Each structure stands twice: as structure tokens, then as C-alpha cells.
Chains A and B, each alone.
Chain A
Amino acid sequence: MSELKFEEALARLEEIVRNLEQGEAALDEALVLFEEGVKLARFCNQQLDQAQAKIEIMMNDGKIETFEVSET
């Protein structure tokens, strides 16, 4: 799941919820979808949880310099 993009995960999660709520999945199918949905939600939350902004500047020599951001 590391290659997954946030929007793809979110779109799939939305699709799963739609399927569950509209479809007539049998309990075992519903549980498989549910498990996938839980993983996707966890992935989305992980993506959203990066606490610290990172500001980098591309220098002239092609090196990248990092600046910590402090709350202003």
C-alpha cells in the first residue's frame, strides 16, 4: 500500500462505503470490504498525520537545503 496515492485510497474508501451501504453484500463479502476499508482509512490517516511541515529550498548547485518551520 506504500505506492498508493492518498486520493486513490480515499476514492476506494468512498467506493467501499457506497458499496456497503447500497449493495446487498453477504456478510462475508461485507467483512472483506470492511477489512480493506479499515486499512485504507488507516493509510489515509497516516498520510494526514505528518505533523511537521518541511520547507526545502533547491540551491543553485542542485543541493537541497531544509528549513524547519516554526509557528509564526
Chain B
Amino acid sequence: MRILLQPLSVSELTKQITLALTGPEFQSVAVAGEISNFLHHRSGHMYFSLRDAQSRIKAVMFRGRNQRLGFVPKNGDTLVAMGSIGVYEPNGEYQLYVDLLLPLGMGDFHLAFEQLKDKLDKEGLFDAARKRSLPVLPRRVGVITSPSGAAIRDILHVLTRRYPGVQVLVFPALVQGEGAPASLIQALAAAQETNVDVIIIGRGGGSFEDLVAFNDEGLARAIAGSTIPVVSACGHETDFTIADFVADLRAPTPSAAAEIVVPLQEELIANVASLQSRMVSFVQRKIQADRRYVRNLSQRPVLLRPEHHLNQQRQRLDELVTGLGRYERHGVFVKREKLAGLVGKLETLSPLATLGRGYSICQNERGQILRQSHQVVPGDVVNVTLQEGSLSCIVEGRRT
């Protein structure tokens, strides 16, 4: 019996390896190691290796992933990389596709924070397109915070200073401790049932650990699900919480949130007054202009002295009639002259006139006018016409 080995093509083999390596066990791995051969390519992607004493694995972190990195990795850094294993088929190399890169020794809080942030980001909860715009002038502002902290005092102070007629509905909530996330979520839910049209949620400053309630996944989802725009105000200029990322707007402090949420009343009043006066002055100008125009029209002579206009027309008519008569007379004269000329010409051409001057016309018996002597022979009878009467003559002889 013969074993026939059907050879695979390189790419077929590579595909099978890829399949074997991209199983579920390698789709979500966290690996600690030291960075080497780090290259931040012009394209924005990062290429490097992770290694320990015995082994090395190639890794790539694409631009879209490394943009949110809070630090620039460098050779020698010991890090935790999270991501999945894949095969780069052109080279037949397996490598780690890195989603998240964290410094080793980061506390559990930070680790959990980065992982949750990455997860919600992938879900699109931070997308700019999801952010709602805030009302220009909220009718009622909802505030979710501790009723006893500095944050509520700051918020109320700024709100009433900027907008003395502000309507505020406070939803007391725990902002730290074990029950804080549930309390915040409950307050957010209660706010949905009221007519507030913007919500401030936050607390005064604190350490990263103090803000842990605002890094809660449930709260993040509640904020994302709010039908009312939410402004987060967690009291940290530099550190962002998950609530900050998912809120429609992040204010660096509770006071800043209040500044953002209500306008300065006097500014709005001035704005409305300015619009009103622009409108009034426009209408006044318009009426003035129209009035000028009407006055202008009414002062045209045709309206001012209609009889004058009429007289002018009448005069013009007279002129025309006169002109017509002149033309007619002139026309007859010309015709008469022309006729006289024609008659005179006719007279000079008439044979009668020639006869008047003493010439006579000699015709043979057939009536033909004789111009040469050889037209007749002696004995012929010719007729000679004179101015008055005619003669009948017999030719006796002829001369040439």
C-alpha cells in the first residue's frame, strides 16, 4: 500500500495554522513582558516585541488603539498587553494584536477602569454622535449629588448668580461608598420622571479611589440611557471618570458644570433687547423710506398739476394737426409743379410743335414718313402735313 501525500500550498498551510491559532483561547489574552524593538511608525501604528528571559512575541498596536494611550511606551518598559493572537500571513508570523497597554503594577482599580473604558468605547457609548446638545435656557435643572457636600453649594451658588430665576430640582444621592453607584443610578432614574431638561451629576474633588462610584459600569449605562442631557462634574481637572466619557458634556468641576448649564441672565436679556431694537429700527426705517418714496411720486408734475399736463397734450395735438396741413399743402404744390414740367416736356416732344416752327412732314400714300428721296419715284403722290392743313403733291423729280 502506498501513502500518497498530497502537498499543501504555503498559503493553504498558513491558513490552517491561522485557524488553529485564532481559537477562543487566544482571543482575549493578557500578557506581561518587557518591550523591545519598539517602533512608532509614520502610519501611527506601533510595532514592538514583548519578551521575558526565555521568549519573545511580536506585537502590533494599531493607531486607532494607541491614540488613547496615556503614555508613550519605550524599550525596557515592563507592561501588560491585552489583545488577541493573530497571524500575519504574508510572513507566516503569529503576533499579538494589542488593544490595551497598561503599566505593570497598576492598581486593580486602574486596571478595571482601563478595561471598562475600552469595553464601553468599543460599544460606541463614547461616540460624539451620541452626545446631545444642552438647552440654551433650561426651565428646570436637575442636580444629582450629595446634599451635604461642597459640590451642591457650589452648584447652587453659581446657578443662582448667573440666572437669578433658575429652577433647580436636587436629587440627593450617595457619591461614595458601597451603595453610591446604586444610589446615583436611582437618582438618575427618578430624574427621568420629572420635567428637568438638563442634569448635572457629580461630586467634589477626591482621590481616584473616591471617584470610584463614577467609574461604575451600571452608572455609565444609566447615563448613556438618559433621555435628558447629562453633564458630568466629578471635581477633577485631570482625571477622567467613565461617567465623564459617557456624559453629553464633561465639566471639570461642579462650579464649571453650573456655568455651562445656565446662561448669564443679563446677557440673554441684552440679546433679546438688541434683537427687538434692531427690528423696531428696521420697521421705522422701512416706513420712512416708503413715505419718502410716496412723497417723491406725489410731487411729479403729472400728479401735482394735471391740467398742465393736459394742456401740454392739447398743444402737442395742435402742433400735429398744423403739421399735417402743412404737409398736405406742400404735397399738392410739389405734384402740380411736377405735372407742369411733364406737360412742358410733352409739348417740346410733340410733332405739332415742330410743325409750328415751320417744319413739315412728308408721307407716302401708305402713310410712311419719308426721310430719303429714293423712297419715291417721279409721279408718286405724297402727302405733306403742315402746321395747319396738308398738301397732296405729285413728285416731279428727285435729287440725292
Residues of A within 8 A of B (CB): 5-7, 10, 13-14, 16-17, 20-21, 27, 30-31, 34, 37-38, 41, 44-45, 47-58, 62, 64, 69, 72
Contact = CB atoms under 8 A, between A and B. Distances in A.
Contacts of B165: 48-53
Given A20-B283, A48-B269, A37 B168 contact: no
A54 B167 contact: yes
Which applies to chain A's interface (DSSP): helix, strand, loop or mixed? helix
B136 A69 contact: no
Nearest to A43: B272
B164 interface: yes
Interface stretch (B18-26, B169-177, B226-234): B169-177
6 contacts: A6-B137, A17-B282, A20-B282, A48-B137, A55-B170, A58-B194
Given A13-B272, A56-B170, A58-B170, A6 B282 contact: no
Nearest to A64: B169
Contact of B136 (A7, A49, A51): A7
Contact of B135 (A7, A31, A38): A7
B279 A34 contact: yes
A13 to B, nearest CB: 5
A57 B170 contact: yes
B168 A55 contact: yes
Contact of A21 (B280, B282, B290): B282
Interface in B109-155: 135-137, 139, 147
B381 interface: no
A58 B195 CA distance: 13
B270 to A, nearest CB: 10
Given A56-B168, A56-B170, A34 B283 contact: yes
Contacts of B278: 17, 20-21
Contacts of B159: 53
A6 B139 CA distance: 9
Contact of A14 (B171, B275, B283, B286): B275
Contacts of A44: 268, 272
A10 B272 contact: yes
Contact of A30 (B166, B171, B286): B286
Nearest to A62: B190
